[in-house]
Amino acid sequence: MKQLWAPWRLQYILEGSSDECIFCIKPAEEKDRENLILYRGKHVFTIMNLFPYTNGHLMIVPYQHAEDLNGLNEEVLLELMTQTKMTVAILKQVFSPQGFNIGINLGKTAGAGIDEHLHIHIVPRWVGDTNFMPVIADLKVIPQHIRATYDLLIPFFKESEGGGRI
């Protein structure tokens, strides 16, 4: 039997779940590189998924703690979508994906890992990125270290800042 080493997963296993909302804590810490925050707007921020589905899996998150869309005002909703649009453009430029999955999982039943704080997932997709590994081995292969992905993306977000703060 062959082994696939993924030492970064140990952090996820050891941390377990917390009663604190990471989407409230992380932007307040002002440690953007450490927390994988790529962009800060007036009402939303863009953060990398620490345990991504594919390379470049990002999330757009309102600073306001809300469980669903009804908890957000029009200004926040507009910035959520504007930032989603900008993020897709950056991911197209950097990774040349052939498609995207963009979505919001409302509630645990819908697949939300963090269901108390609404966020939009943006997952770049390529032909053939779903192969035998997740089906047979319940395993995903991410081809680039997450810090290398951050370093690759951050200049594009700084360049596209448009009123945001990095």
**Is this prediction's pTM over 0.75?**
yes
pLDDT at residue 126, as a whole number: 86
135 and 16 in contact (C-beta within 8 Å)? no
Which of the four pLDDT bands, split at 50, 70 and 90, describes residue 119?
Answer: very high
Instruction: Find the mean pLDDT for residues 30-55.
Output: 93
Instruction: Assess whether pLDDT exceeds 50 at residue 82.
Output: yes
Q: Which alpha helices (H) appear in the chain, and where do they start and end? A: 9-15, 22-29, 32-35, 74-95, 132-136, 146-159
| Domain residue ranges of the chain, discontinuous segments joined by + | 20-159
Neighbours of 113 (CB within 10 A): 11
Superfamily of domain 20-159: HIT-like (3.30.428.10)
Reference 58, options 18, 88, 30; nearest CA is 88
Residue numbers annotated as active site: 119
